Structure 1
Amino acid sequence: MNKVERARLTATIERLSGWVTAATRMQAERADVEKAGKSAIHVLCRTVAIARGGRPAWQVVPLGPQAAIAIRQLAEANHLPAMSGADERDLASLTASVPKAIEESRSVLGARRLFARRERKDAGANAAEFLTGYEAWAIGRGLDATIENLRPTWTGAATLGAADALSDVVGLRPHLEKLGRLDLIDATPVHELPDAITALNSALKGEEEFRKEATRAGDAVRRAETNEVLAKMHVDRLREATAERLVTKPLVDAGITTVGAVKDTRNLESLPGIGPASARRIRGAAVTIEQTTFDEMPPRIDIKRKTATATILLKALGAWDAARSLRNATSDIERATELVDLAEAVSKQTTHLIVASATSQDAVELLVGVNAVVKRGMALSGARQTTTAPPRDPWEDFLSRPADYYGMLAELGFLTEDEGKAHGDLPEEIVEAVRALALNAEYLTVGTLRGYQSFGARFALVQRKVIIGDEMGLGKTVEAITVLAHLRGAHGLNHFIVVCPAAVVTNWIREIQSKSKLRAHRIHGNERERAALSWTRYGGVAVTTFETLNWFQDNYPLTLTIGAVIVDEAHYIKNPDAQRSRNTAALLRRSERAVFLTGTPLENRLDEFAALVKYLQPQLLVSTNGLSPRTFRKQVAPAYLRRNQEDVLQELPELIEVDEVVPMSSADTAAYRSAVQAGNFMAMRQAAMTQGPSSAKLERLKEIVAEAEANGRRVIVFSHFREVLDQVARALPGEVFGPLTGSVAAVARQRMVDEFSKAGHGAVLVSQIVAGGVGLNIQAASVIVICEPQLKPTTEWQAIARAHRMGQLDTVQVHRLLSEEGVDKRVTEILARKSALFDDFARHSDTAHSAEEAFDITERELAREVVEAERERLFAGGPGPDDAGESDEAAA
């Protein structure tokens, strides 16, 4: 090889060495980027699994500061120039074969050529020839450009962050798509989640302590009651508790005559005739009886016997209720449990979340749950320092809301419900589905739902379109409101409609406002247009009537999503051909959920009941011809739930009092205005009941009597006024006894009551409240209707006591018919004010309790005050007679 050839070879080696170095560096750079990209995928694909109802619902990837680095690394890896198979082979040849050839070729260059052996020189010559040819091939191949083009030179990653995680630039989406639909959301809503869950857990722990204290207090009441029973139980009962032969005569001879005394006597062995073995058997029998009695003993709350242990129990229940009221969030707690892993995985540095949902659950629904838990946690954090203390007088609180207290006792297990009866005739698969649903109570303010009420609401939610036919007095309205509150809290729905008779519109408005956080709108009367606009704009519950519904749908096409429709007194639409039925049916078609409320779904014919079912779930019934009752109940069971009071209220008999607030009809209003103008207080009190078929109160009374008949109950109707009683007696169908008035002789009164007691279901005894409220026991009746508020509290108390007394096996329902405006409202307000004042000064006085007249309020003064107030309201204080109330008794 001559000098020129050696110089050319040296230049070739230099060029190829540079390519080898560049290729090696390029491969190392690519390897670093690829390694970082794989590591980034590992970091970014570490998901948090969230299960709902025991099933996977979401996979969440929290993205924080480190995620931004990983996203840039993955994007760089995603933007590495593509390397073909030929490129890989070329680079392999360059980085493997060429360096070896370069090393061998050096034996023919420089001083080495002078000392190299023949074989090395031959190898060097061959290598030189290879390099020369390889250089020519590489130049022709453009290998140097290939090396440069394969370098990771993309600079776009520098500006990327978590917000770009799912962009095509990054390349993360293909690695996560197997999880389902992907959404990238701002993580700010979850920043407070860890603290919120901590607050919830703390509240639960605190509530659990209150619950335990209430349980201990309940057991103390049961223990005290047990001791009282044992103190009256004769020692001979010991023989029933053991199969062994017991001799009790020595106990009686020693003056130990009760099981309680046996339990309290320590040294039975010292008694004559009783040895160690006998003493052991006697004690064992006493313990057995004591435990059996205790196990079967419910905690008694007797307002006539305010024992110390019962007072402690009420205080403990009040404290527990106060702790629970801070959360009232069964669904929020369930959500918090679902979100624990997410809370542990996020911090305030988390900027975004990638949410993957394999089912219909989407990121928005996840955020709804997060927001609910955070909201609840923040409320608890602010409230735990100011937990509402139990009332100073627990008995007053108990008297004001006994149902809440009995509900708590039931929840603690002291009062048990027959689950089978609470579930009606429902198939087991529906029962299981109902049990699996957790109620969202975020928009519910009612203290405690009874177990059967919770079940009824969940049944309506699971089955979507149903009839709740619970017996009057079990709280169908509360169940319906619970359904609406759940739909608002759990699903975000906010437009609901209640269709009902005009007489109960006011009651619905009041119940919605008192038992939920939902906004109530009265779509009835003069303000219906304004209310309808407000409902459309702000959402809530539109309460309208069967008659107004047509106007409502014509003027407000209801293009909104209707979350649910409640139809109260649903038997009003049993005739599908009636206009009100067609209007209601049109509304039902616009909503996926509906609840019919009626205690009398079947009035005359089976087809009427079937018609109601067909509005809701038409597939359940094809024909009613020839169906047995059992078959019919089985067919309609998926759409119909009914419970009777005696089936679900184990603490019967109970007094259930309902204020039926009824708007005045136009005829009522006209008669009432005339009475006010004349200053006739007694005529004012009667006006809403003496207008015959035009009387709104009378129409409501008919509905109450009809439902009572359907439920196998008898009714007493009380009024102060003879004219009212005469109107009632003429207007009511069926068996009506009376009027029982002060002019009826005592013997004739009892005969009248006896005949009433023997009469069939739906029988009505019409009685003057003073005459029927004293000296008669009328346990046959379990529904009491008081037509107008009485001027003496004792008058009502005594009248109610005629039916609600020892020997009464049914719950007693008291319905007070109250006009929405006017004298009834005024009298009720004045009596409440004056009664409260009296309570402060005399309620705990012995004189007050022994003299009923201490509760009376001067009728003349009350009449004058009411007449003056009503004149001012209706006529701006116009002139009228000054002798209001002068002829009160004569008017009666």
Structure 2
Amino acid sequence: MERHERQQLRSITDEVAGWVGQARTVLAHRDEIARAADDAIESLRRAVVALRRDEAVDWAVMPLRTGDGQLLGRVAERVHQPSLAPAEDRTLRHLTTQVAGALHDTKSVAGARRFFSGRAKRDAGQAAASFVLDFRTWGVSSGVPQLLDRLSLHDGRTFDVGVADALGDWVGFRKRIADLGDAPEVISSAAVTDLPASIGTIEKALRDEARYRAAAVSAGEAVRSREVQRMLVEMPVERLKDATRDRLRIGPLADAGITTVQAVLDYGARLEYLPGVGATTATRMRGAAQTLWQMTYDEMPVRIDIKQRTDETTELLRRLGAWDAMRKTKGATTDLTLAGALAPLARVLHRDVSHLIVFAVGAQVAELGKAVEAVRRRARSIDGTSGTAASADPWDDFLGRPADYFAMLSELGFLTEDEQKTHGDLPDDIIEAVRRLQLDTEYLSASLRGYQSFGARFALAQRNVIIGDEMGLGKTVEALAVLAHLRANGGHYSVVVCPAAVVTNWVREISSKSSLRPHRVHGPGREAAARNWVRSGGVAVTTFETLGWFENHARAVDGLACAVVDEAHYIKNPTALRTRRTRQLLDAAERSILLTGTPLENRIDEFRNLVSYLRPDLIVDADEFSPRRFRRQVAPAYLRRNQEDVLTELPELVEVEEWLPLSREDSAAYRNAVAAGNFMAMRQAAMLQGAKSEKVRRLVEIVEEAEDNGRRVVVFSHFREVLDHVVRALPRDVFGPLTGSVPAAARQTMVDQFSAAGDGAVLVSQIVAGGVGLNIQAASVVVICEPQLKPTTEWQAVARAHRMGQLESVQVHRLLSEEGADLRVTKILARKRELFENFARVSETADSAPEAFDVSEAELAREVIAAERERLFSQDAANLPEGEEAV
């Protein structure tokens, strides 16, 4: 190679060597940026926490600290590096490998090394030189120098990324963490800043259960002690003689002016210094007084008198409320599950964490916010800062849900129950089986009275039962306790079938008294509700009318744990379509519960039908048998307790039959109805004459008296026209009429508005609409405008007000005309009442029930019309309409 050729080659190789150096710098810098970005991403990923419910991950959360902006900047730096086309990347790699090797080989022909190289190396060097020359020519024409200059311009560029912008497309971080979950969102840590404290409050409350309970017990004992003291202040000192079997002289006490047992206790050790007493007698006196105190204390239930709001009772309510909040926390498994799921997040929420990236895994991102709020709300309910503040009057909460408070008092032993009456009419072997069963209340947030717990365990032990407790005793919560127990033991699907009027009430009760999930399978949203029930489980609440549509959904679930039928007397007729559909559901369920406070309405056979749906083996075919034998046969499937047996705190029920004369206008309307043979018109005649009606005048007086006494009134009638007249006759706050045509949800709203109204408010309702399922405890005066044709219809209506949780005595006024249909219907119903007492109500009566007591409504109407025609027209046949004959 000539000298000028070697000089030219050296010039070209120097130029290409510069390219190689630039390429190496660029690639090294790009690799460094890539490594820094990968390290940053790995560091951020290591901080991710998985939030799990029921072992499945619902969310992944990445905490971001203020300093993490530098790590995100490294990710952004990599994203914003100049882009490289595949061909350009190959060129850079070619420069740092093959071209760099060729440059090395060219030294054997262009440099001093040529003097020491053998022929083979010189030949290789010559080939390398040709390669470099060709590459340089290609490189210049392909723009390699410009590519290297473009890439070198960006060296040393940095990015400042705020953590709030972590998911911005320009950062490039989102794509690198896509495997962590779906739909990631950046939220401020301020949204969860109090989560650690909330979880801490819940955990502390769970640890402090004994302390909350002890505080409630102590407050209850203080109320009881005060009541005992009040009684001993009024207890004459002569009772000391009873306690000592007349072996104690009390004359010296009377001489000293000590006249009550409490005064003896107050005097204490000073008694021995009284004239005629001495140390021994004083000791006996104090012992006798203390014995009376203890006996009184042991038998004294804790009473809550809304008219005597003592400091001790107020403190008791406050302590019960706090204990209830804790108990609900323990029983609120959903909230506790959420608290457990969120605990890992709470542990990483340090002060320098400013934002979170939340990923949806098994649940939507928005649900995390709801979960945090649920935990926060649970914590607030524990420490008294939610809803009712700690400083607020606890009486407000008590008045809003007195039944819950009485249930807590019963659980703490402050309300005594007769255990024998709690068991109803059950044989001993069943009672023992029920006692052995342990009720799992993990999913139940309500307190249970002793008799309610027994009822729930009876249903579980016997599997298919009728709970026939008298209305107002809490059959709903007994059924809920069963469903909660089954859910805790793996039963995910249950169904409640009820009249449309009480669907809303059932949904409310499930939500407020358990952590089970209710699904309202009724009305416009029934399709979505049914699908949700099939997908996620819970309690489907549907109606007899909707059941046919719902059947396919019920068959789609894997195992129906329990079917509950409320107001089960709706299926007394075995041939009715609603009955056949309901029985199919009962047959498909592993357990079933029929709830009815009126299992026997007209016919013994109807009650037998209900039992046969569940236990056909219990009823033998017989035309006549005694009530005692009947109850003994159905005992394995039937439990009934009455109010007076188990509700010792229930206020007095005062029932008044208001026998009123017919006014002249009433009589005329009544005679016309009898003449026409229109039984329904006969029943209404005395209420349709406005101010000229004696019943209406008396009704107005009752309402005015109720307002003066601070009471609210519910007026029941079978007839819509009567209710319309009542609304017009009452000038004050009237709600209604609540009729069968009012949608179920609107009925509950109407009752809620009435409950929130002032004294003297009146709710006007059809007895078959408002007398079933609804709780109308705000009313303490009940007016029934005409006798009903089924005794149970009236009992149901009265029980809407006179039920567990009622705080006022309940007055029931039955408006009765002293002649005519009212009188005759009342006499006939007296016989039907006796039938119920014999067969369905726990009773000691052992007489047989004649078949004559089996009276249908049509027979009753014919009997009354015939008797009234005889009475009114037998001596004046001319007054009968043409074509009619006197009877």
TM-score by length of 2: 0.48
The structure whose RCO (Cα within 8 Å, separation 6+) is larger is 2
TM-score by length of 1: 0.48
